[in-house]
Structure 1
């Protein structure tokens, strides 16, 4: 197993920030991890697991050993009366995998088309779009403990999925006494586990998940109120391409902030002052606000700090206008947080990992 030294990371992070990894190892199988462990490759410096690099902001060179996950493979591995069980290696491109499932006749992931990143990173973030989250289609995953070499399997409950959250984003103890965390692992798995393979349960009796304004507009445009999975996939791609910048052309990490959730009373107070606030009522009585609308209302659309800017077509996306540093990105992000907090009393939470 070759450990490369001083590896440029600009091509490995979708923001396109210039940085280097002091050391990087490409992981194509479990054997590669075992070989690194036998050589005590990460020693006291620690390690950082890197998937597609679509959800990170690099603020400098990376000192921990970078494990670049490149595990491949896609297959139907099982069936139940109601589901196809489809598995993909952690290094597979997420969008390509979604397209493959449809080509094979396994619908269910189409609403999450064009989400950047890899299959292995998807459970970490519990990715989601247009009414579907990964946890809605998740069956199980295999991961390796990076300190013992043990391979283990986790079901959905053990992954502690939440809104853009999972057990893989936390390093400390999890409150297993909380009803929301019942049955979860006692410890978070951040920087301790490397996801190897992910399995999805895709419905044999498929129904489209609709209800979002962008999708309803497409239905009207095409005069179709019962789209196929492929049509829905195509529409989601068209909508995302119209709204969001292609990371290959303009560096970005997709949605930079989580949509905040507030109480019904808080929402009513905001509506009283800003009646046009975009909001969605949740089943538990709370209300999710559109972070992009909050940012836009504070006048940030199109603004910049250095070479880091707010995308002109979607205020929720921060972009690299050319040569932006991670420091500029985070200065811009913090300025946006301050503006939104001062106007609405809400502190936006970033989605990307800052390193």
Structure 2
């Protein structure tokens, strides 16, 4: 177990913000997670349970204790179930699934981060969400050190939300996640530009390997490499609006993209609205809106967390004024 003081989080956040935390604890087993929970006192608060830092914006040095899982394993339980330690790399899990003919996760390829965060954030892309795959989560309750097992339905998953982000926040150290895949391949190709990207390569019925490769190519073409340009991927959640609000905007913007949620709600891409407001490729100081994808805010070099927040608020203000819609960060701002 690591237990360090005044620890730099530069390598633990993809925005490239050089902030420190007062204490950093990394556990590599369930027993160490229980020991870490027992070590914590009131002086350690506030707590920050950190995954790969790909969904985090630090606005200052963290005055409390950061806890990170180093539990790093993958185990196939049976024909369709895979159990991963919470510190296991997410895309390594996807790669394993595709390689071993376990289907359903292909569209979530190359999302940065660790397995534990998938159960908190309910990550998603191209019409698939982690909740579609998660069967159960094992965690250590910080207050008691007890091991808890949560079924999918207990977590109350919704768009980028779970009870781990709300009432269970900072109460549990996730130690593993069990996923149920399928041996029957039923690719989802109708979200975004998947079909057109496949068609450009002359592929009509892709294998899982071809679909994964195409998803990776699409993401790499529009998302910057955090090693070259600090970012946390999609910064804003796509807003879900009423059918009445959608109809009002559709009358003004004939080509407005949208995705039907149900008979009463539509999802409108936040990136499209940001681009309509003229922000794509623009910047405020050292913080900018990525030139290839307006949903992504980037550290152009030397930006502080406060710089990113100031840009975020300016973008939110313009979208609200133009469309009458509030957009909210997907990123955890701390």
TM-score exceeds 0.5: yes
Task: Report the alpha carbon displacement of residue 34 of structure 1 after superposing the two structures with TM.
Answer: 2.5
Question: 2:173, 2:237 → 1: CA distance?
Answer: 24
The 5-angstrom pairing of residues 1-355 of structure 1 reads 1-41=1-41, 43=43, 45-79=45-79, 84-170=80-166, 188-355=167-334
Select between 279-288 and 152-161 the one with higher mean Cα deviation: 279-288
Select between 123-132 and 230-239 the one with higher mean Cα deviation: 123-132
Question: 1:40, 1:160 → 2: CA distance?
Answer: 28
Q: Classify the secondary structure of the residue corresponding to 1:295.
A: helix
Task: Report the alpha carbon displacement of residue 41 of structure 1 after superposing the two structures with TM.
Answer: 4.8
Q: Which residue of 2 aligns with 1:177?
A: none
- RMSD of aligned residue pairs (Cα, Å): 1.3
Q: Is the 8 A contact 1:42 1:65 kept in 2?
A: no
Question: 2:49, 2:143 → 1: CA distance?
Answer: 13
| Structure 1 spans left out of the alignment, 5+ residues | 171-187
Select between 29-38 and 51-60 the one with higher mean Cα deviation: 29-38
Question: 1:262, 1:40 → 2: CA distance?
Answer: 42
**CA-to-partner distance for each residue in 1:14-73, whole Å, 9 max, x for gaps?**
000110011101111122232234434554523211110011110000111110211111
Q: Classify the secondary structure of the residue corresponding to 1:241.
A: helix
Task: Report the alpha carbon displacement of residue 78 of structure 1 after superposing the two structures with TM.
Answer: 2.7
1:44–1:9 distance in 2 versus 1, CA, 3 Å: closer
Question: 1:232, 1:310 → 2: CA distance?
Answer: 28
1:260–1:40 distance in 2 versus 1, CA, 3 Å: closer
**CA-to-partner distance for each residue in 1:135-164, whole Å, 9 max, x for gaps?**
111111111111111111111111110001
Q: Classify the secondary structure of the residue corresponding to 1:78.
A: coil
Q: Is the 8 A contact 1:210 1:216 kept in 2?
A: yes
Q: Is the 8 A contact 1:7 1:24 kept in 2?
A: yes
1:197–1:44 distance in 2 versus 1, CA, 3 Å: closer
1:152–1:284 distance in 2 versus 1, CA, 3 Å: farther
| Structure 2 spans left out of the alignment, 5+ residues | none
Question: 2:67, 2:152 → 1: CA distance?
Answer: 25
Question: 2:38, 2:120 → 1: CA distance?
Answer: 27
Paired residues in the alignment total: 334
Select between 35-44 and 201-210 the one with higher mean Cα deviation: 35-44
Q: Which residue of 2 aligns with 1:185?
A: none
Question: 2:41, 2:98 → 1: CA distance?
Answer: 40
Q: Classify the secondary structure of the residue corresponding to 2:52.
A: coil
Provide the TM-score with structure 1 as the length reference.
Answer: 0.91
Q: Is the 8 A contact 1:309 1:320 kept in 2?
A: yes
Question: 2:64, 2:6 → 1: CA distance?
Answer: 12
